[in-house]
């Protein structure tokens, strides 16, 4: 089932992508617009979510840039670090609940990045539906406006 605009706007939805170099990326929507490839299937998104959360945690992740107003918003970096310990670069929405804003910032960087080639075929195929046009290892900011 498709994730409708109302749910996108009122929920903080974790979604996943692959960058131009094959790195796996986690993005917390913070009420933002989802790429169409993500919004198209809640079931596929759930499958990716379950897969990544069942991966064993590896080395410590580097906390990069927690949201400036995290204490006031009730958000913390723990969930982002959890994904990074599983090898994913983890980004958060910069302007929470600004539904149309497409700016994200890196919160946690993996010590050992997970790559697309390491994933089982069916998971890799789902992830390939959402491709970032940039490489994320050196990024601290990410604009997802062009992601389909």
Which pLDDT score is estimated for 76?
75
The DSSP code for 125 is H
* pLDDT tens string 45-96: 999 999 999 999 987 777 775 555 444 445 678 889 999 999 999 999 998 8
Range of the domain at 72: 5-143
Let me know if residue 29 belongs to a domain.
Answer: yes
Number of domains in the chain: 1
Single pTM value for the model: 0.90
Let me know if residue 17 belongs to a domain.
Answer: yes
Which pLDDT score is estimated for 71?
44
Let me know if residue 148 belongs to a domain.
Answer: no
Dihedral sign, Cα of residue 30, residue 143, residue 120, residue 86? negative
Using 50, 70 and 90 to split pLDDT, how confident is the model at 98? confident
Using 50, 70 and 90 to split pLDDT, how confident is the model at 37? very high
- In whole angstroms, give the CA distance from residue 109 to residue 104: 14
- In whole angstroms, give the CA distance from residue 106 to residue 89: 7
- In whole angstroms, give the CA distance from residue 41 to residue 44: 5
């Amino acid at each position: 089932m498709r994730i409708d605009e109302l749910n996108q706007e009122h929920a903080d939805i974790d979604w996943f992508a692959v960058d131009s170099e094959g790195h796996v990326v986690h993005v917390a929507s913070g009420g933002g617009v989802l790429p169409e490839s993500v919004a198209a299937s809640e079931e596929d998104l759930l499958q990716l979510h379950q897969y990544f959360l069942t991966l064993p945690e590896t080395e410590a992740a580097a906390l990069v840039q927690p949201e400036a107003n995290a204490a006031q918003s009730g958000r913390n970096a723990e969930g982002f670090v959890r994904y990074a310990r599983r090898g994913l670069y983890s980004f958060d929405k910069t302007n929470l609940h600004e539904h149309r804003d497409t700016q994200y910032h890196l919160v946690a960087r993996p010590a050992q990045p997970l790559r697309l080639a390491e994933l089982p075929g069916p998971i890799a195929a789902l992830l390939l539906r959402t491709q970032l046009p940039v490489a994320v290892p050196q990024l601290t900011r990410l604009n997802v406006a062009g992601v389909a």
